């Protein structure tokens, strides 16, 4: 009886282990579907178990296969893969996507294990372009990133090509460099901006606007490629300084001359008005004088002085005697 129960327990454990194995195998074989943008790129990241030794990454049942390489970013290669064996982490980069790149891709080991991912490439008017931008040393660079509407809820990223790989220097959750900041508040316009302050020569390089998705594998969709050039701020030459100085002096002289001209015109108008007032006053005085003298003349004409009346009124002194004045004097 005891033996029978032990055998039944062992059979149940075996069945349970086998069931879990089948479930894990089925989940492991489940294909992941990812939608990329024509003209852009895509990065697949997959962490495998210790017992698996991934040999290659293939497209459409061994038609095109690649093996792991030392660098993920190889400008002359469209499809590259790296294998970080210290953390069992695979990364695959497919660049310059076209609609023809749509299909099924697989990671494979040297036995029967495989991991599928289905890639669908679509045309998007917002994305898939290459741009160039210039920033000045110790200045500020603002990178504008557009993305498809379907990726609105994805975590946003900014990659930079350096050290033979593509490194995520910024995500919407954290930044590897405090000089970077992100602004996601753009409503329905579907773009975000990344601001880089205190730009240095080291910041020059190739950047990628991206969005990050996560299912059974992690992936990043790269939408726009930006080549950032860093130069010194323009310095004005001695000739430029001279031209600017002369131009300012000419403008100041012209302004001064114009002010003097306006002031002189105002003074001339003021003097002219004063002279006119004086002339008007003189004319008024002359008119008043003429009127006054005319009235006097009229009075003279109306009341003439009679000479006869004067002579008639005057009386000669009375003569005391008929003697002459000399005799009268002697008598006295």
Highest mean pLDDT among 204-213, 235-244, 277-286 belongs to 204-213
Over 50: is that where the pLDDT of 319 sits? no
**134 and 204 inside one domain:** yes
**231: which residues sit within 8 A by CB, 6+ positions away?**
134, 135, 136, 137
SS (H, E, C) the chain: CHHHHHHHHHHHHHHHHHHHHHHHHHHHHCCEEEEEECCCEEEEEEECCCCCCEEEEEECCCCEEECCCCCCCCCCCCEEEEEECCCCEEEEEECCCCHHHCEEEEEEECCCCEEEEEEEEECCCCCCCEEEEEEECCCCEEEEEECCHHHCCCEEEEEEEECCEEEEEEECCCECCCCEEEECCCHHHCEEEEEECCCCHHHCEEEEEEEEEECCCEEEEEEEEEEEEEECCCCCCHHHHHHHHHHHHHHHHHHHHHHHHHHHHHHHHHHHHHHHHHHHHHHHHHHHHHHHHHHHHHHHHHCCCCHHHHHHHCCCCCCCCCCCHHHHHHHC
Q: Which of 205-214, 251-260, 283-292 has the lowest mean pLDDT?
A: 283-292
What confidence tier does 262 reach under pLDDT thresholds 50, 70, 90?
confident
Query: Of 181, 168, 182, 172, nearest to 219 (Cα)?
Result: 168
pLDDT digits (tens, 9 = 90+) for 48-101: 887 778 888 998 766 688 999 999 999 889 999 999 988 889 999 999 999 999
Of residues 160 and 20, the one with the higher pLDDT is 160
**248 and 207 inside one domain:** no
Of residues 152 and 323, the one with the higher pLDDT is 152
Mean pLDDT of the chain: 78
pTM above 0.85, yes or no: no
Q: Which of 58-72, 201-215, 315-329 has the lowest mean pLDDT?
A: 315-329
- Is residue 302 domain-resident? no
- Is residue 197 domain-resident? yes
- Is residue 157 domain-resident? yes
Q: Among 203, 231, 259, which residue terminates a domain?
A: 231
The pLDDT, as a whole number, for residue 257 is 83
The pLDDT, as a whole number, for residue 329 is 45
Over 80: is that where the pLDDT of 268 sits? no
How many domains does the chain divide into? 2
pLDDT digits (tens, 9 = 90+) for 4-23: 555 565 555 444 443 433 44
**257 and 201 inside one domain:** no
Q: Which of 44-58, 116-130, 269-283 has the lowest mean pLDDT?
A: 269-283
Residue 15 near residue 23 (C-beta atoms within 8 A): no
Domain holding 249, by residue range, is: 239-269
- Is residue 147 domain-resident? yes
pLDDT digits (tens, 9 = 90+) for 292-304: 555 544 454 444 4
The pLDDT, as a whole number, for residue 283 is 54
**186 and 257 inside one domain:** no
- Is residue 226 domain-resident? yes
**153 and 227 inside one domain:** yes
Over 90: is that where the pLDDT of 1 sits? no
**170 and 247 inside one domain:** no
What confidence tier does 267 reach under pLDDT thresholds 50, 70, 90?
confident
**142 and 225 inside one domain:** yes
- Is residue 3 domain-resident? no
- Is residue 198 domain-resident? yes
Share of the chain above pLDDT 90, in %: 41
Q: Which of 133-142, 266-275, 280-289, 297-306 has the lowest mean pLDDT?
A: 297-306
CATH code for position 140: 2.60.40.10
**134 and 225 inside one domain:** yes
**225 and 145 inside one domain:** yes
The pLDDT, as a whole number, for residue 219 is 96
The pLDDT, as a whole number, for residue 54 is 83
End-to-end CA distance of the chain: 212
The pLDDT, as a whole number, for residue 280 is 54
**226 and 253 inside one domain:** no
Average pLDDT of 172-188?
A: 80
**247 and 226 inside one domain:** no
Of residues 209 and 61, the one with the higher pLDDT is 209
**136 and 225 inside one domain:** yes
Share of the chain above pLDDT 70, in %: 68
- Is residue 295 domain-resident? no
The pLDDT, as a whole number, for residue 263 is 82
């Amino acid at each position: 009886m005891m033996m029978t129960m032990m055998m039944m327990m062992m059979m149940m454990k075996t069945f349970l282990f086998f069931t879990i194995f089948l479930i894990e195998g089925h989940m492991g074989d489940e294909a992941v579907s990812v939608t990329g943008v024509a003209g852009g790129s895509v990065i697949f990241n997959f962490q495998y178990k210790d017992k698996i030794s991934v040999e290659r990454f293939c497209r459409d049942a061994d038609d095109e296969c690649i093996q792991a390489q030392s660098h993920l970013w190889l400008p002359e290669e469209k499809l590259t893969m790296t294998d970080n064996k210290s953390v069992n982490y695979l990364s695959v980069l497919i660049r310059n996507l076209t609609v023809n790149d749509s299909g099924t891709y697989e990671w494979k080991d040297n036995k029967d294990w495989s991991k599928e991912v289905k890639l669908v490439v679509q045309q998007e008017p917002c994305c898939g372009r290459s741009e160039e931008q210039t920033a000045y040393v110790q200045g500020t660079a603002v990178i504008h990133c557009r993305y498809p509407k379907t990726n609105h809820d994805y975590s946003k990223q900014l990659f930079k090509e350096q050290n033979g790989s593509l490194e995520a220097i910024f995500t919407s959750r954290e930044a590897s460099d405090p000089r970077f900041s992100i602004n996601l508040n753009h409503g329905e316009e579907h773009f975000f901006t990344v601001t880089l302050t205190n730009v240095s020569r080291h910041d020059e390089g190739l950047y990628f606007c991206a969005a990050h998705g996560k299912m059974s594998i992690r992936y990043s969709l790269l939408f726009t490629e930006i080549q950032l050039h860093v130069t010194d701020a323009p310095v004005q030459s001695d000739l430029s300084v001279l031209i600017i100085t002369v131009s300012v002096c000419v403008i100041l002289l012209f302004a001064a001359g114009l002010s003097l001209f306006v002031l002189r015109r105002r003074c001339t108008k003021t003097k002219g008005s004063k002279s006119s007032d004086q002339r008007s006053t003189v004319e008024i005085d002359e008119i008043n004088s003429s009127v006054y003298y005319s009235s006097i003349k009229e009075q003279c004409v109306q009341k003439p002085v009679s000479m006869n009346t004067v002579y008639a009124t005057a009386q000669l002194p009375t003569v005391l005697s008929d003697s002459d004045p000399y005799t009268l004097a002697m008598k006295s």
